[in-house]
Structure 1
Amino acid sequence: MIKAKDGDFFISDWLRNVNTLEYLSAWETMNNPDFNYGEYAIIRQSSGTNTFKISVKEWVLKTNSIGITAQAGRYGGTYAHKDIAFNFGMWISPMFQLYIVKEYQRLKTIESDTLNLEWDIKRVLSKVNYHLHTDAILKHIIPKSTLPESKKGIEYAKEADLLNLALFGCTAKEWREANPAHAKNNLNVRDFASIHELNVMSNLQVFNSEMIKKDVSKTARYKILLKSAQEQLEQLKKIDILKAVRKQNSATYIEARNKTGDELEKLTSESILDKNKQALSDFNKKLKQGLNYNPKDEK
């Protein structure tokens, strides 16, 4: 870096700078538990005088620094961690400093655009094929439901939990109990799903709607959906749709289990029956009015 810059610059001149010493101390404090802060304080106190001078070797010897090192010999030289090298580059070149600032701003813009793109993709995927699924439930499950008329809307949530079990290994209720902090903010398992998982969920909605039309039992449907979800996720892992779009949160998932028909019925029912009765009543009023089912109504 020194050779690339016109003029006589020496690392010892850079080390004489009070701001340099404070920067090095801050870096060592963050990354080096064995940094000798007492010796640094002595060096810092001596800096600023006309006679003050310190070499890299002296700095390392006195402070036990690990961020910068110097070696003599044919293949020797002074080397530093990139965090420190950037600081040195900005000291010898205002233009280099400006490039660093511009590059930081560019990367932050890309990061922001990526997060917005992920939000848009998730919003679309969460709705794709949703109406196909609810339409199949309305036409083929609701008429056969043994629940009271005022509670038949529960069937929608039970089928949604069947998909949750197949893909995430837990019902909405189980996830809320495992993630109480997120549940308090009205977030659910699908809010933390990856792009691949939401893509699979969209496919499962179509698959399940077709099986519902064919009157396949809940136990059989669960086994088929579980196998399909596992196979699809395995294949999608090999495809990086958007490198920058990743799962953003590691909220608790519950390991998938093989469940019998009775267990499925119990889980999907219990996940709903503990909800507010008034909310269910409001939901059924909307259902009778011919409005589309919205998961937010479960609240």
Structure 2
Amino acid sequence: MAKKNQKIEVQGTEITVSKNDLADFISLTDIARHKNPGRTDDLIRNWLRNRNTIEFLGIWEHLNNPNFKPVEFDGFRMQAGLNSFTLTPKQWIEKTGAIGLISKAGRYGGTFAHKDIAFEFASWISVEFKLYLIKEFQRLQEQEQKSLDWNVKRSLSKINYRIHTDAVKEHLIPDELPAKKVNLVYASEADVLNMALFGKTAKQWRDENPGKEGNIRDYANVTQLVCLANLENLNAVWIEEGLPQPDRLQRLNQVAIQQMQLLTRDVSAKRLTGKDIDKK
């Protein structure tokens, strides 16, 4: 059903958010547990018996599910609200081909619903609980977006560094140069960028931070990574033009100073990077 589960806490109740291929699904079982821990399944079935619920689910499926079965849906809608009418999530899914609800057996199973439907169920449980659920769910999404932005920019830096090392290989390394010396050239060019932006080489950083894993770039904030990506492109161009390394280092340092001043001062850049990430 899901590739990844996450937890959010809403008014003291732990709610599971399941990362489906199409969207986020929220556990109705956990939401019902907030109301009555011993009768979660009964609460969900009682909610499904309601005519307004059936009509809401039907409209949602019509909008989002081209394989939804309208004839079977009409049968449920006609019976909804009658004293004799009962309906389980599994019956709803199997009869109508619904995709908005997911029913899973087992220890870590339960009933999950697309966030649109989950918020509707939460409102039936408690309007106050629904508002807190939306707030915590939005907070989770914001955290995921910040993490995604960081990963994208880190990947961009790595891609640009590949362009940079290719330029080093093509223009600075003779064909017959031994592999050991090739590595030394790469290290030297990497440290040109490190010196331009961070003011120290990779070895100097490791000597100053013996207890940290990774390298100096793993501890850069997003603003620095954006600047680093620009420096890598510029250095690759200047290598191709045959500019000597000392001259490139001086130019790169000037560019780094100018760009970091702009990036850290500009309001839109601060909004892009996020306060917490810049403090990484």
TM-score range, shorter chain: 0.3 to 0.5
TM-score scaled by length of structure 1? 0.45
Select the structure with the greater relative contact order (CA < 8 A; seq sep ≥ 6): 1
Larger Rg: 1
TM-score scaled by length of structure 2? 0.47
